[in-house]
Structure 1
Amino acid sequence: MSEDHSPSASSRPRRQPRVGNTSTGVRKAASKSNRSRAREFALQALYQHIVGRNDATAIDMFTRDLAGFHKADSAHYDALLHGCITTEADLDALILPMLDRQFSEISPVEHAVMWIGVYEFQHCADVPWRVVLNECIELAKEFGGTDGHKYVNAVLNGLAPKLRSLEVAADKGKQAAD
């Protein structure tokens, strides 16, 4: 009988969960908040709506069955999905003047991300405008085309002063004072 000189499992240091970004810049799952996850699922659902014109109820049922949905803020997901679909014409009316091309030339992913951003600017006052902007940029980086996040950034950054005027002005005032 040979002796095992390897350290026992109980004496080995425990592996720490990975957090931060992957080598491609995408946030690792362990670092995502429930709201970030809700935005991801809402994006997937809105993509189905834009591309397939699928019914919101069918999209919702399908999305709730996806792996990991239980970790998302379902109330925020509901607000984003149903709010964006219900007000899509109003959202598009705000976004269109900021575009340098037609919606048909915009990726459905970037289109859906812009909807999420504009909807949150208008209806989620508890989320700071910079958080909305950063979350949407991250969504576009993770799910969109190579430089789609730059386009999303330009559009939402252009709309923020209009949709969150007091908050943006106060933020810029702080920066000028620093």
Structure 2
Amino acid sequence: MSDLGDTEGGAFAPKKRPPRQARTGTTSTGARKAGSKSNRSRAREFALQALYQHLVGGNDAAAIDAFTRDLSGFHKADSAHYDALVHGCIEGAAQLDALIEPHLDRKLAEVSPIEHAVMWIGAYEFQHCLDVPWRVVINECIELAKEFGGTDGHKWVNGALGNLAPQLRAAEVAADRGAAPAPPQGSQHPQD
């Protein structure tokens, strides 16, 4: 096939090619492309898939784990982080739900299993992965919701986790925002 065609220059003038698109690390939906993901980000993706299986099918953690480890690309994931997320979220499901539910505008049973699992990951990392900054936790969860969740699910996840962060990472959030940490819920301010 020739790249010559009927254009302004005559019947056999070369066709003009459209300008090359700049390559970025995001897809058309705004999610990161696979090549630009860290091994921890990949671990979160596989953990999300596993937690989805647990929430939707009620499958056993060991069976889910065995299945997920056989998926293509798992070798690129941080398996220790994946293990912590999957087993920690499943074992602590009731406690994580109790933390998340007060920050929702609906019952947890009405939440999509994807967004539910993403919020489990966020709440678990806030509590147990203190080496991951709170803003990174939220950003990673937003990315998961963009890639796997509903159209505006990422906005909803952002709001819920953004409200949960000051509760679970009070000193870190306050330091980032340049303010004194908020007093624990139920306590009185010294000036009261």
Give the TM-score normalised by structure 2: 0.80
Check if 1:132 corresponds to 2:110. Answer: no
In the other structure, the counterpart of 1:149 is: 154
- Matches of 1:23 and 1:85 in 2, distance apart? 32
Percent sequence identity is: 78
* 8 Å Cα contact 2:29-2:147 kept in structure 1: no
The C-alpha deviation readout for 1:45-98, integer Å capped at 9, x for no partner, is 000000000000000000000000000000000000000000000000001111
Q: Give the aligned partner of residue 6 of structure 2.
A: none
State the aligned residue count: 157
CA distance in 1, matches of 2:107, 2:176: 32
- Tell me which residue corresponds to 1:12: none
Structure 2 distance, partners of 1:131, 1:97, is 22
* Alignment of structure 1 residues 45-56 onto 2, 5 Å: 45-56=50-61
Per the normalisation by structure 1, the TM-score is 0.86
Alpha-carbon distance between aligned partners in 2 of 1:70 and 1:64, rounded to the nearest angstrom? 8
Q: Kindly indicate which of the two structures has a greater share of residues assigned to helix.
A: 1
Q: Could you tell me how far 1:26 is from its partner in structure 2?
A: 1.9
Pairing partner for 1:77 from 66, 82, 87: 82
Pick the aligned partner of 1:61 from 55, 58, 66: 66
The letter for the 1-side match of 2:78 is D
Cα deviation for residue 24 of structure 1 reads 2.2
Q: Structure 2: how far apart are the matches of 1:81 and 1:69? A: 14
CA deviation after TM superposition for structure 1 residue 23, in Å: 2.1
Q: Tell me the residue number matched to 2:107.
A: 102
CA RMSD of aligned residues (A): 1.0
Provide the C-alpha distance between the structure 1 equivalents of 2:126 and 2:65, rounded to a whole number of angstroms.
Answer: 23
Task: Name the CA shift for 1:19/1:77 in 2 (closer, same or farther; >3 Å).
Answer: farther
Larger-gyration structure (1/2): 2
Separation in 1, partners of 2:79, 2:160: 27
CA shift for structure 1 position 22: 1.6
Q: Is the 8 A contact 1:39 1:80 kept in 2?
A: yes
Partner of 2:116: 111
For 1:133 and 1:102, locate their aligned partners in 2 and report how far apart those are by CA, in whole Å.
Answer: 21
Following superposition of structure 1 onto structure 2, how do residues 3-82 of structure 1 map, counting pairs within 5 Å? 20-82=25-87
More strand by share: 2
Task: Find the counterpart in structure 1 of residue 128 from structure 2.
Answer: 123
Query: What 5-or-longer segments of structure 1 have no aligned partner?
Result: 1-17
**Structure 1 position 127, deviation (Å):** 0.2
State whether residues 42 and 80 of structure 1, in contact with CA within 8 Å, keep that contact through their aligned partners in structure 2.
yes
CA contact (8 A) 1:19 1:29 kept: no
Specify every segment of 5 or more residues in structure 2 that has no aligned partner in the other structure, as ranges: 1-22, 180-192
Query: Partner residue of 1:173?
Result: 178
Q: List 4+ stretches of structure 1 deviating above 6 A.
A: none
CA distance in 2, matches of 1:173, 1:21: 31
